[in-house]
Amino acid sequence: MRIAAALVLLGSLLHAEPPPPIHLAVSRDGRILAHKEMTLDATAQILRWKSREYPLASLYLIEAEDTSLIWAADYDSRMRGYELLAHGEILDRATRLFRSAVKFKDPALARRLFDLALENGLDAKTAEKNRKKLRALEAKSPKPSKRAPEVHAEANKLASIQADLLFVRTARELEANPEVGLRMLRDLLVLAPRHEKAGAALVARAPKEFALGGPRAWLDWQLDIEGRGAKLGANDTFVMRQSRKYWRKDLIGIETGPVLIVTPVRDTRVLGRTLGCCRLLTDLLEELFGDYPRRRKKFDPLRIFLYGSRDEYKQQSRAARPKEDAKFLERTAGHYSPEEGISRLFWEISRDAEARTVGTAVHELTHHWLADANPAYSRSEGRRSTRCPGFWIVEGFAKFLEEGVYDIDNRTCSLFDRRAASLDTIASMNGSEKLIPWTMLYEGTSVTFWALPKENDIRVRRRWHLGSEILSTTQLWYEQSAATCQFLYHADGGKHRKALVAFVVNHYTNQRKKMSTQQAFGMTPEELGKRVEQFAVAVAKGWEPPEG
């Protein structure tokens, strides 16, 4: 979870006692301000030093004389401030030791310290001055004096400055705010895996036995899973027993809200972000359909099987559904099986693994939730939509939600992204004859969808992607359908939003007479399609929905 360190400031400002004396601040241009006479104007949100004023927004952090934090805009700003503090300390020491290396006639050490000072921000004037001294020393090739080893010993300590500085702050935070302290501790261990004090601090806080590994595994689990409101599921449930029997024995189950992920994957960052996104999505769906009378109050957990590789995904999917089209599985990154009530997806090591896994989870979980958890209709009612017109809403609504911006750290989401692929595609193809005819799209059934050509033969140049992409007609169905949802949700001040949600309910409950765009949205298929194209072009030119 992103730590809003601004709350630390607010707590200090609202507290009856004044904050401790300020002695250090780091600005966003890299300057380190150190002076005991600095004062904080809480009302104006300004740091004052002599006659100068620094808006808090221009600062990474402000520390008290005892190194306790007074201000940081957020966790990332705070860590960047500590990094700059370390650079400043390294620069000061390296510059001082450089003078000693020159004095004690050690050109190799002087070169090393000069380069280190340059890396940490040595100013041009001092750099030129020291460069001349270094060249003069190297030209003489002198024999180092007996005092040179002392400078070597001091120089070797420079490598640990950043980790040691961070540990002082981490140790303080572990006592004052363990949630923040643990996150800092993990970042410290990434920076310096063998830092003895940090390792000891972790061991002291980790349980003696943790089912999924040692202290570091516990730390990752604590931050990425428990910190996102998820927990380890029970081992003795029917789902877990059957999964371990027919899949593999090392599975774990993780629960968050209505979602249960069963997986052998141990990468807690991927799991945590997937779980966090699933929780945001289910909360959002509950809100979107919250005006309907609740036709069902309880339902089984929405099961997601997260496989460790594409091969395992295909193998297990075929084992569960022997008649599944192998080519279909090859093309997909996940799918929802309504017969089993299971969503399947996979994770594997790749550059975009996390983004792809999270996006697929949102898409498939949308299908899953609408079929098995939507309170607007019962489970049996929600399975009446076979061959119902308006099938575009099924994939379109799922892709529309997939294109949302999910801020998992701050637990917020926005359903508008001007870089959404569907809008990008339609804006690029505005007026193209290669678009699926809008009437065909809006009046089509699942049979229409499955009969579409699957060959990639439609070249599209997107605004937000380099080069071009080749799509199939089937993929265009997704793009046009999602762009329609984008339009209905955002355009015209959101006046079509309730009608969009009602259209989802009507389709899933097989209300065939309510599936025409004229009745649902007051537009013919051609009119609606034209409005969608115009909306996509407007977004490409910079249109955004009004705030609020």
Is pLDDT at 149 greater than 90 in this prediction? yes
Which band of pLDDT confidence, cut at 50, 70 and 90, is reported for residue 9?
very low
pLDDT in tens, 266-297: 999 889 989 999 999 999 999 999 999 988 87
pLDDT in tens, 165-198: 999 999 999 999 999 999 999 999 999 999 999 9
Which band of pLDDT confidence, cut at 50, 70 and 90, is reported for residue 18?
low
**Cβ atoms within 10 Å of 505's Cβ, excluding its own:** 19
**H runs (alpha helix) in 247-309:** 268-288
Listed in sequence order, the residues at least 6 apart from 229 whose beta carbon sits closer than 8 Å to its beta carbon are: 256, 257, 279
Give me the residue label for tokens 């194209």: 533
Q: What is the pLDDT of residue 207?
A: 94
pLDDT in tens, 325-339: 777 788 788 999 988
Q: What is the pLDDT of residue 168?
A: 96
Which band of pLDDT confidence, cut at 50, 70 and 90, is reported for residue 19?
low
Task: Give the amino acid at 143.
Answer: K
Which band of pLDDT confidence, cut at 50, 70 and 90, is reported for residue 386?
low
Domain definitions of the chain by residue range = 98-161, 224-377, 384-548
Task: Give the amino acid at 219.
Answer: L
Is pLDDT at 11 greater than 80 in this prediction? no
> Looking at 10-19, 481-490, 498-507, which range is the least confident one?
10-19
Strand partners, 55: 46
Q: What is the pLDDT of residue 16?
A: 40
Strand partners, 34: 24
What share of the chain has pLDDT > 90, as a percent? 76
Which band of pLDDT confidence, cut at 50, 70 and 90, is reported for residue 539?
very high
Judging by beta carbons within 10 Å of its beta carbon (0-12, 13-18, 19+), is residue 19 exposed, middle or buried?
A: middle
Listed in sequence order, the residues at least 6 apart from 503 whose beta carbon sits closer than 8 Å to its beta carbon are: 390, 393, 514, 515, 520, 521
Are the beta carbons of 259 and 282 closer than 8 angstroms?
Answer: yes
Name the more confident of 237 and 380.
237
User: Which tokens in the block code for residue 530?
Assistant: 């034209």
DSSP string, 361-398: HHHHHHHHHHHHT-TTS-TTGGG--TT-S-THHHHHHH
Which stretch of DSSP H or E encloses residue 196?
helix 196-205
Q: What is the pLDDT of residue 425?
A: 95
What share of the chain has pLDDT > 70, as a percent? 95
**What totals of helices (H) and strands (E) does the chain contain, helices first?**
22, 17
Strand partners, 61: 26, 72
User: Which tokens in the block code for residue 433?
Assistant: 């004859």
Q: What is the pLDDT of residue 327?
A: 73
Q: What is the pLDDT of residue 17?
A: 57
pLDDT in tens, 232-262: 988 889 999 999 999 999 999 999 999 999 9
DSSP string, 323-362: TS-HHHHHH-SEEEETTTTEEEEE--SSTTHHHHHHHHHH
Is pLDDT at 434 greater than 70 in this prediction? yes
CA dist list (Å): 28 to 65, 83, 428: 20, 12, 39
Judging by beta carbons within 10 Å of its beta carbon (0-12, 13-18, 19+), is residue 20 exposed, middle or buried?
A: middle
Q: What is the pLDDT of residue 379?
A: 79
User: Which tokens in the block code for residue 76?
Assistant: 């990332």
Cα 385 from Cα 396, distance rounded (Å): 15
Give me the chain's average pLDDT, please.
91
pLDDT in tens, 126-137: 999 999 999 999
Closest CA to 85 of 3, 167, 12: 167
Q: Are strands 259-263 and 302-307 parallel, antiparallel or unpaired?
A: parallel
Q: What is the pLDDT of residue 441?
A: 97
Listed in sequence order, the residues at least 6 apart from 319 whose beta carbon sits closer than 8 Å to its beta carbon are: 246
The CATH number of the structural domain formed by 224-377 is 3.40.30.160
Q: Sign of torsion, CA 171 174 177 181?
A: positive
Which band of pLDDT confidence, cut at 50, 70 and 90, is reported for residue 548?
low
Which band of pLDDT confidence, cut at 50, 70 and 90, is reported for residue 384?
low
